[in-house]
Amino acid sequence: MNKKITLMGMSQNELEDYCLSNDFPKFHGDQIFRWLYKNNNQELENVSNIPKKLKEKIKNDCDINLLKIKKKSISKIDKTIKFLFETKDYKFIESVSMIDSDRHTVCISSQIGCNVDCDFCATGKMGIDRNLKVGEIVEQLIEVKKNTNIPITNIVFMGMGEPFLNYRNVIESCKIFTNQKAFNLGTKRITISTAGVLPQIDLFIKEKHKYKLAVSLNAPNDLIRDKIMPINKKWNINKLMLSLKNYNFFRSRVIMFEYVLLNGINDSVENAIELSKLLKNFNCKVNLIPFNQILGNYKRSEDTTINKFAETLKKYNIRVLIRWSKGEDIDAACGQLATKHES
C-alpha cells in the first residue's frame, strides 16, 4: 500500500511541483494553496476551480487533515478556548484561542511535549515525543479559525514545545501564515518564543526574519536561572546576551524578554535592579508573567510584589508589561499546557 502524500503544510512551490509531477498544469498548485490556507475549507467537493481528475487524485493519494479536535474547553472567566487535538499517530497537542476586544491571539504548539524541562512549566514535565510537521502547526490555526467568530490577528509560538528545536518547520509555517494568498498576517503579528537555544537564535538573526523574537529569561543571573531552567547550563545568560546584541537589523521589532515571577525565587527588588542592569543596553520590552499554578513547589508572587517589581524596572527605564494570563480555570494559561485531559 502506497503511503499517502501530505498536502497540508506544503508551500505553493511544493504544490505546483505536485501538480506538474502528476501531469496537471502548474497553476493548479496556486489554486490548491489558496484552497487549503485562505478559505480554510478542506472539503474537496466544495472547490469549483480544480478539475475533477485532480480532485480524484488528491482524494485517493493525499492526506489533507492531520488533526482532529478531541475536546474544546471554554473558560468561564474570559473569552478563552483551549483546543485539544489528536494527531494521526494518536498523540495530543493543545492550542489556545484568546480574545480581548478585537484582538484575537492564538497560542500554538510546535512540538508534542518538550525536553527543555523548565522546572516551573507543566509541558516541560512531559518530556519530548516528536516535532510537529509544518502541516500540524498550520492546521492548528485553521481549526481555531473554523471554530471561532473573531478574525485571528496574532499568533504566538508559546504553546507546547520549544519552537527553536523545531526551527525549520516553525519558520516554514510562518511563511504560510504571512503569505498574502493564505492567512495574510503581517510578520509583526507573529511572535516566536525561545528558552534560549543559541544556535537557532544565531540562525534566526543571520536569516533576518522579521517575526518578533521573545526570549524566556526568567532570571537576572545564572545562579537562579541554572536552578529553574536547565538549558542555562549549556547556554548561559552571558552567551545569550552576546548573541542578542546582533539583533539590530530591524529596530522596530524590539526583543521581548519573558519573565515568570516565582514567589521568593526571582521576584525581589534586588532581582529587578539586577535585571534592569542586564537589559539596559537592549532595545527591549519585558513581559512580566505572574506564575500560573501547576503541581510543584513554586507559588505565584503577591500582587504587591509583582507591581513593585514592575515599578522598579520602569524606574530604570525598562519598558514593562504585566501579562495576566487568560484561561487559568481551564489550564490554558502560560506554562499550564500538558494534554492531561487526553483520555
Taken in order of first residue, the domains within the chain and their CATH numbers are 5-63 (1.10.150.530), 67-330 (3.20.20.70)
pLDDT band at 117 (very low <50, low <70, confident <90, very high): confident
pLDDT band at 335 (very low <50, low <70, confident <90, very high): very low
Residues that are catalytic: 94, 334
Q: What is the pLDDT of residues 54-103, one digit of tens each?
A: 999 999 999 889 999 999 999 888 889 999 999 999 999 999 999 988 89
Q: Which long-range contacts (CB under 8 A, 24 or more apart) does 23-32 make?
A: 24/51, 24/53, 24/54, 24/57, 28/54, 30/181, 32/7, 32/58
pLDDT band at 328 (very low <50, low <70, confident <90, very high): low
Predicted confidence at residue 323, as pLDDT, reads: 86
pLDDT band at 253 (very low <50, low <70, confident <90, very high): confident
Maximum Cα–Cα distance across the chain: 69
Query: Quick check: 126 pLDDT over 80?
Result: no
Exposed/middle/buried for residue 61 (C-beta within 10 Å: 0-12, 13-18, 19+): middle
Separation of alpha carbons 256 and 267, rounded Å: 18
pLDDT band at 333 (very low <50, low <70, confident <90, very high): very low
Cβ-contact 66, 109 below 8 angstroms: no
- Mean of the per-residue pLDDT values of the chain: 90
Separation of alpha carbons 73 and 216, rounded Å: 26
DSSP at 262:
B
Question: Is pLDDT larger for residue 326 or for residue 126?
Answer: 126
Going 138 to 144 to 150 to 154, the CA torsion angle's sign is negative
Predicted confidence at residue 249, as pLDDT, reads: 60
Average pLDDT over residues 144-154: 94
Predicted confidence at residue 48, as pLDDT, reads: 81
Percentage of the chain lying above the pLDDT 70 cut: 90
